[in-house]
Amino acid sequence: LPARYGAGEASIWVQYIEFVAKHKPAVNLGQGFPDYPPPEHVTKALSEIATGENFLLNQYTRGYGHPRLVQNLSKVYSPLINRQLDPMNEILVTNGAYEALFSAILGHVDTGDEVIVIEPFFDCYDFMIRSAGGTPRFIPLKPKATEGVQTSNSWVLDEKELTSLFNSKTKMLILNTPHNPLGKVFNRQELELIANLCKKHNVLCLSDEVYEWMVYEPNKHIRIATLPDMWERTITIGSAGKTFSVTGWKIGWAYGPVNLMKNLQVVHQNCVYTCCTPVQEAVARSFEFELSRINTPECYFNSITRELISKRDYLVKVLRENGFNPTVPDGGYFIIADWTKLKDKIDLSSERDKYQDYRFTKKFAKESGVLVIPPSAFYSEPHKSLGENFARFCFIKKDDNLALAEKLLKEWN
């Protein structure tokens, strides 16, 4: 394996999906996907396309994005970013947000470039930066000492530390808001700090906003591309999997100014060329349907939050009642919870993993039947200890399964 790929260890997803197949936990609150049906109009669109009259929808489509999809993406985002997005030149449709990240990083990061990554971070960023020949520079969000309820927004960056990471080699900063796994929704002041540093040092901002619709009141999702003079240095990423609760569809996108998007197109056209046509058509129709009811409470971009907030509150309560200390998320669909008060109840010596959150989540799944994710997977090697006291719980799960998790947690306690 080329050295730039590191040790080639199985990713957290490969490892924990194997674990699920082997141990068959009663409730899977691990990987982030809904265990209940997506909106009906979304799945109906796909089923109609495959057998519909336009059989050409089963063939290749335009490489940079199916025309009907890029047109609808432009209609959705233009009002949100206060500018007319050019569907043909400023948007690239990709194989999930993963490929958007990959094309953006491979397309812009050169050998010797540095990329600033905020910890905890979605694990693939690290690999992608290294495979482009770049060097990730990590900075952790740290919880402020607060009295009472810990919320995701009490996890903050140290301004001095962030400032000190910028230098002449810095090419890019990767932002993820709403954040996986913390659920942090970066506020305007925090985004301004990042934006001002990017502008001062001529750095690109890659903004991973796949959870953009899942933001809990009174928080607001602010797109960093809308801050003054940030459009020209920002590439923003979204995901149909997250937007429409169809994570298996693997359609994502990136949008930004033409000159930045060119580099993504080069990677995409030679590595992927084009994404699945019928699925792109179905995502396009799904957006059309939502656009027709965009400002109504029924619009999925609004209803998803109502659906999730009660699940969030329920799981927070269950965790508190069962010895965990959850950080209440302001966005997204994950909760990280400190499990260390349960230390004396669980013997981790049978597990051989290096980090104690891996040992805890594995032993806990075997004993309780509830599978969750170890957050140290989202930290660089020197900072893994910052994640080890926590476990990540996914709450986009049907109420029956959340209730089953409660029952299993109680029994285990």
d(CA 336, CA 136): 24
Count helices and strands (H / E) in the chain. 13, 14
d(CA 213, CA 199): 27
Confirm if 247 and 33 have CB atoms less than 8 A apart.
Answer: yes
Return the SS3 of 190: helix
Please say which residue, 46 or 409, places its beta carbon nearer to ligand PMP: 46
Q: 358 φ, ψ to 5°?
A: -65, -45
Q: 149 φ, ψ to 5°?
A: -70, 130
d(CA 104, CA 173): 12
Please say which residue, 96 or 134, places its beta carbon nearer to ligand PMP: 96
Please say which residue, 85 or 175, places its beta carbon nearer to ligand PMP: 175
Cβ at position 357, least distance to ligand PMP in Å? 18
d(CA 297, CA 289): 14
For the record, the structure tokens of 219 come out as: 């928080």
Query: Is 176 near ligand PMP (CB under 6 A)?
Result: yes
Query: Is 196 near ligand GLN (CB under 6 A)?
Result: no
Confirm if 258 and 84 have CB atoms less than 8 A apart.
Answer: no
Cβ at position 304, least distance to ligand GLN in Å? 16
Candidates 72, 245, 247, 361; binder of ligand PMP (CB under 6 A) is: 247
Longest dimension (CA), the chain: 63
**Radius of gyration in angstroms for the set of CA atoms belonging to the chain, rounded to a whole number:** 21
Tell me which residues in 174-193 interact with ligand GLN (CB under 6 A). 180
The set of residues, in sequence order, having a beta carbon less than 8 Å from that of 347 and lying 6+ positions away, is 363
Tell me which residues in 320-379 interact with ligand PMP (CB under 6 A). none
Tell me which residues in 16-35 interact with ligand GLN (CB under 6 A). 31-32
Strands (E), 313-358: 325-327, 334-338
Cβ at position 332, least distance to ligand PMP in Å? 8
Query: Is 127 near ligand GLN (CB under 6 A)?
Result: no
Q: Which residues pair with 142 in a beta bridge?
A: 156
Q: Which residue is nearest to ligand GLN (CB)?
A: 32
Cβ at position 13, least distance to ligand GLN in Å? 4
Please say which residue, 101 or 319, places its beta carbon nearer to ligand GLN: 101
Draw the binding track, 30-69, toward ligand PMP (x: CB under 6 A; -: no contact). --x-------------------------------------
Please say which residue, 312 or 359, places its beta carbon nearer to ligand PMP: 312
Query: Is 178 near ligand PMP (CB under 6 A)?
Result: no
Query: Is 238 near ligand GLN (CB under 6 A)?
Result: no
Residues at the contact surface with ligand GLN, assessed by CB under 6 A: 13, 31-32, 180
Contact set with ligand PMP (CB under 6 A): 32, 96-98, 122, 176, 180, 208, 210, 239, 241-242, 247, 250, 252
